[in-house]
Amino acid sequence: MDNFTNNEELLNALKAGGEEAFSFIFIKYYSNLFSYAYRILNDNSDAQECVQKTFYHMWDIRHKLEIRDSIKSYLYRSVYNNCINIIRQKKVLSKYEEGGQTDLYFSRIIQSPQTEMRLIDSETRRVILQNVQSLPEKCKEIFIRCKINGQSQAEVASIMNISIKTVENQMTIALKKLKEKLKYFILF
Amino acid sequence: MQLKGEEATDILISRILKGIANTEEIAEFAIWIKDLDHERYFEQYKEVWHSAQEVHVSEGKKDQSLQSLIHYIRYNKRRQINRRRFVYVLSSAAVILSIFGLFRFYDNYSMWYDYSHVSFSELKHNTDSIKVVLSDGRVINPMRKSPYYAQEKEINMNSANQREISYVAQKTSRPQKTERLKYNSVSIPAGERFAIVLSDGTKVYLNSNSYIRYPVSFGKESRDVTLVGRAYFDVQKSDVPFIVTTSDMKVEVLGTSFDVESKKDATSSSVILVEGSVKVLADGQSKIISPNEMLSVNRFHKNMSVKNVDSKTMTLWKDGILVLKEQSIDSMLESLCSWYGVEIINNSTVSRREKFNGKFDRENIEAAMKTIALSAKVRYRIENGILIIEDIKE
């Protein structure tokens, strides 16, 4: 499906409601948009529904589709807006509203579409992902549980049925590897 | 940072990013991130958090989703429905009229539910009160009668209408350039409304869920107020510019009537001009609009757009009638939650593509719900003080 070499041509085809044009952008962007929505919503089926709705909506409003920068950034913004609607319903946001911290959520915590687009093609992301993926299976699992899922080392030790010492050692290995590659990071 | 402390911090951050942090953890995080070094730490952590996760969607699921999209396109191409539903709730007479109207439309549906067991007195209304914060930091509730308030120097309480206060220009003590202006602020909770006559004679109507901050007496160079939420301004003519500042725009006028909406979490803000002319500045651009024009500033696209509206109708909320135009069911219900100060949960499957129009009287939520239920083909019940909207099951 490389028949849309020209952006303008693609946009016109989208406005006309062409099935091929919609399939084309769906195939091109679906995986990345899904991953983005998943990391905001932290839920598989919500993320799927969110991205699905984005494309439905784009078709619904195709006649008045106004794209100023690019279809890609339109899609990311649209997924972002749908995510906000979902987290509102899911009561994630109400915990922030309670403490008057809604601004904090929107300005710091949620991954903005701009940041996501910058990150997705960045060298930093490539290096981090590559190094995390190349860790030995067990080490990777420990890293993900501790640093991504927010479990304590003690918790991870008991879930994985290993000693806390092992968890600590494995984490040291994982962090050392990242430290070498990401010297300017203060994290590790 | 200590090693133990570091682990605790990392757990906190990942719980925040994972969306599983509880209220206490959020409060702890809010304080922690105020430190600049912590903020930098968080930004990097966030980058790693988002980078390290390779979230895959299986080819099967992806293909399934694509098929659904294609079905959706083909199905909708066949039946280009564009049904629009009208909900008018103004007075009981109007309700009866529209109910008859709707029956004619939908008389093949039998869905006149008996709601006699639903008691609206069980509905929990927002109990926050209107708050006026004085320049010395004291907080008063204008709705509560107190002889003490009568002695306030800053404010005139309106004895006939508790939902209004006014200020008088203090001619004797004109603020000098060096003198700092004294500010008051007012916050209006959901379900409430309020009006203020500022020291220059400008009248401000405040909608529910709004906040405004203004000087007790205006300075010589400009008349500045800060707004969050929605307000209607009837600005007294003067050579001194009147400026409304919101989180994302500045509205500058000399003397005119206009409506500003800039809600905290909304995707866009807007200005509706009733008469005169206003200049709107947002994101380095400026635009002048004419009467019956509505300018919207999108917070994400950062662009301004102008469309024609019936400004008199769109600003009827200041007289106690909320007018909604072309809204999806969710945004209609969200507006009603704020308007009536109640909680509404929508469990129905009404499509977001269905557009609703309606006028809602401040006083009669029951009539509003009945008409919505009829028109959207849903039903409602009250559970634990919350209105729940759900599909009608056969």
CATH of the domain at B139: 2.60.120.1440
Evaluate whether residue B114 is within a structural domain. no
Asked if B77 and B212 sit in the same domain, the reply is no
Could you read off the pLDDT of A91-124 as tens digits, one per residue? 888 889 888 888 899 889 999 999 999 999 898 8
- Inform me whether the pLDDT recorded for B164 exceeds 90: no
Asked if B282 and B151 sit in the same domain, the reply is yes
Question: Is B76 part of the contact surface with chain A (CB cutoff 8 Å)?
Answer: yes
- Inform me whether the pLDDT recorded for A14 exceeds 50: yes
Q: Are B227 and B210 in contact (CB under 8 A)?
A: yes
Asked if B220 and B294 sit in the same domain, the reply is yes
SS3 B224: strand
A30, A56, A85 ranked by CB distance to B72: nearest: A56
pLDDT, greater one: B360 or B115: B360
Could you read off the pLDDT of B58-99 as tens digits, one per residue? 888 898 899 889 888 888 776 554 445 555 554 433 444 344
Asked if B211 and B293 sit in the same domain, the reply is yes
pLDDT at residue B74, as a whole number: 84
pLDDT at residue B149, as a whole number: 57
Could you read off the pLDDT of B28-45 as tens digits, one per residue? 999 999 998 999 999 999
Provide the number of CB pairs (under 8 Å) joining chain A to chain B: 157
Evaluate whether residue B257 is within a structural domain. yes
Q: pLDDT grade, residue A155 (50/70/90)? A: very high
% residues pLDDT > 70 (chain B)? 83
pLDDT at residue A89, as a whole number: 83
Cβ distance B33 to A108 less than 8 Å, yes or no, reads yes
Number of domains observed in the structure of chain B: 2
Query: For all residues of chain B together, what is the average pLDDT?
Result: 83
Instruction: Report pTM.
Output: 0.51
Q: pLDDT grade, residue B324 (50/70/90)? A: confident
Domain boundary among B293, B314, B335: B314
pLDDT at residue B127, as a whole number: 82
Residues B142 and B136: their CA atoms lie apart, in Å, by 16
Evaluate whether residue B7 is within a structural domain. yes
B41, B52, B73 ranked by CB distance to A186: nearest: B41
Residues A170 and A166: their CA atoms lie apart, in Å, by 6
Query: Which residues, numbered 28 to 67 in chain B, qualify as contacts with chain A under a Cβ-Cβ cut-off of 8 Å?
Result: 29-30, 33, 39-42, 44-57, 61-62, 65-66
Evaluate whether residue B355 is within a structural domain. no
Q: Which of B214, B117, B124, B219 is nearest to B165 (CA)?
A: B214
Nearest Cα of chain A lies from the Cα of B267 at a distance, in angstroms, of: 8
pLDDT at residue B101, as a whole number: 42
Q: Any idea which of A150-159, B30-39, B198-207, B369-378 has the lowest mean pLDDT?
A: B369-378
Asked if B140 and B82 sit in the same domain, the reply is no
Asked if B165 and B304 sit in the same domain, the reply is yes
Evaluate whether residue B171 is within a structural domain. yes
Asked if B80 and B149 sit in the same domain, the reply is no
Domain boundary among B290, B314, B338: B314
On chain A, the residues whose CB falls within 8 A of the CB of B72 are: 56, 59
| CA-CA-CA-CA torsion sign (B92, B94, B95, B96) | positive
Evaluate whether residue B17 is within a structural domain. yes
Question: Is B72 part of the contact surface with chain A (CB cutoff 8 Å)?
Answer: yes
Asked if B158 and B209 sit in the same domain, the reply is yes
Evaluate whether residue B327 is within a structural domain. no
User: What angle do the packed helices A113-120 and A19-41 form, to 10 degrees?
Assistant: 100
- Inform me whether the pLDDT recorded for A37 exceeds 50: yes
pLDDT at residue B219, as a whole number: 87
Where in the sequence is the domain holding B216, given as residue range(s)? 131-314
Evaluate whether residue B174 is within a structural domain. yes
